[in-house]
Amino acid sequence: MSFPKGFYWGGATAANQYEGGWNEGGRGPALTDFTTGGSVKEPRMVTWMDKEGVIHKTPNKPMDDTLPEGAVKYCEMEGCLYPNREATDFYHHYKEDIALFKEMGFNMFRMSISWSRIYPTGFEAEPNQEGLDFYRAVFEELKRNDIEPLVTIHHFDTPLAMVEKYGDWLHRDCIDLFVKYATTVFTEYKDLVKYWLTFNEINNVISLCSMFGGMFNTDEEYQKRCTHLHYQLVASAKAIKAGHEINPNFMIGCMLSSPTVYPHTCDPEDVIKAQHEMQECFWYAGDVHVFGYYSPFAKRIWAEHNVTLDITEEDKAALKEGTVDMFTFSYYMTNNTTTHKGEAQVGGNFAAGTRNPYLEYSDWGWSVDPRGLQYTLEITYDRYRIPLMVVENGIGAFDELEADGSVHDPYRIDYFAKHIKTMGQAIDNGVDLIAYTPWGCIDLVSAGTGEMRKRYGFIFVHKFDDGTGDLSRSRKDSFYWYKKVIASNGEDLSK
């Protein structure tokens, strides 16, 4: 039996893509409420007003929440659809959804708290009681169903008022505002939630620079993104310290995307390039979270891109005192890198590098690499030696809804069977993996493209890209399959 007794099986979601209820219960706006839908070819757009009062629509720059040049504020544009606003409406369906999770056998459910539901602008002195009550009701419902919540405190949704004032995380004040928010939720839910994650995919902000090059690969971008990341790392560490004081039993983790990079050839130049990309994209933030300080290679990255960071003595002490109890990450694909010219490139949203001839690719251009998950687990555990969780994994695919309401998704079953198998192999090889929460266990809005048709769920939600759909839920074939997997604690992967 590869998977230990008590292993956590579940699924993962995020408020901005799932919760909806964007203007209910006293919630304030977040930037994702002003981001339109896109596709693998068309970027998502943001809509904003200039100082003359003219409304514009321009491409959303990934992982960069500063107002576009000339903008005075974000606002709506007539005729635009903003898919994250209603999303797939957990806000009004949470009881039904939790019952479905229970039916599948989940003993863990990953969700995030929407910051602007607790502090509508981020600046209030007192939290919004209705927001606190909503999450209390959700956590109590989970408890009644014996499902352990795994709660992300920040998942891509800084309150809009903070984004407009500070250009997202480009100001130190964000640290205290976050710690205030984190302290509020730690205190409020200290008896209902044990497992917490501070920032979702905290490393994305910088990994885009080396992976995507082009407009992200300038000294100015690095300066901005390293600053943003530094403030978030300090905020995370301070929140962790505060959390442990509130409840010493809390298990608080970081959450990184794993951009596992392979050298495209065995040319040592490619090997060094891949190593440096791993340092920049993964270990840079991971090492700070786990070890409590920047690793020596950070100096190389700063020097190469003329970055000067505002790291105070107080920051250094905070980073030391706020290390994580567990390391969690999302895993979707691996990327190849090379110094050689002329190799075929991958296409797709948030996929970079050269095409790996040994792998297949999804309709959105993401490689499918189950062995890469095992490799990522093993190198990460070798490095950190603290419990690991895979808190996102899955395949975004076009699902066909049959006339009788069923959805036949053998491709999803195949994907999960292969990934669960290699996770088991990593455990057999000594990795302390304690949880697996596949992404978008119920259909939700894609973060990268804003689409509904890029579906990940075991549960189909009747919501479509034109905004139609009655939001009803139906079980896909993978629902029954995953239920069987959980019941056998990962042993029975048969299709």
- Per DSSP, helices labelled H in 308-449 are 313-321, 370-384, 410-428
Q: Which residues does 191 contact at the CB level (< 8 Å), separation at least 6? A: none
Provide, rounded to whole angstroms, the least separation between the CB of residue 49 and ligand BG6.
27
DSSP string for 354-391 = B--TTSEE-TTS-EE-HHHHHHHHHHHHHHH-S-EEEE
Provide, rounded to whole angstroms, the least separation between the CB of residue 163 and ligand BG6.
17
Dihedral sign, Cα of residue 493, residue 90, residue 409, residue 349: negative
Burial class of residue 337 in the structure, from the number of CB atoms within 10 Å of its CB (0-12 exposed, 13-18 middle, 19+ buried): buried
Q: Which of 128, 152 has the CB closer to ligand BG6?
A: 152
DSSP 61: P
Provide, rounded to whole angstroms, the least separation between the CB of residue 37 and ligand BG6.
12
Residue 491: active-site member? no
The C-alpha atoms of residue 456 and residue 441 are separated, in whole angstroms, by: 7
Element (H, E) at 263: strand 261-263
The single residue of 164, 201, 221, 280 carrying the catalytic annotation is 201
Query: Which residues is 49 bridged to in the sheet?
Result: 55, 73
Question: What burial letters (b/e) apply to 233-272, b meaning 16+ CB within 10 Å?
Answer: bbbbbbbbbbbbeebeebbbbbbbbbbbbbbbeeeeebbe
Residue 392: active-site member? yes
Cβ atoms of 131 and 27 within 8 Å: the answer is: yes
Q: Which of 286, 448 has the CB closer to ligand BG6?
A: 448
Q: Which of 203, 338 has the CB closer to ligand BG6?
A: 203
Q: Which of 49, 444 has the CB closer to ligand BG6?
A: 444
Q: Which of 62, 105 has the CB closer to ligand BG6?
A: 62
Provide, rounded to whole angstroms, the least separation between the CB of residue 62 and ligand BG6.
10
Q: Which of 49, 324 has the CB closer to ligand BG6?
A: 324
Provide, rounded to whole angstroms, the least separation between the CB of residue 155 and ligand BG6.
6
Nearest C-alpha neighbor of 141 from the set 178, 201, 101, 104:
101
Residues in contact with ligand BG6 by the rule CB under 6 A: 14, 17, 200-201, 257, 330, 392, 396, 439, 446-449, 454
Can you give the length of the chain in residues? 495
Provide, rounded to whole angstroms, the least separation between the CB of residue 13 and ligand BG6.
9
Q: Which residue is nearest to ligand BG6 (CB)?
A: 448
Residues known to be catalytic = 201, 392
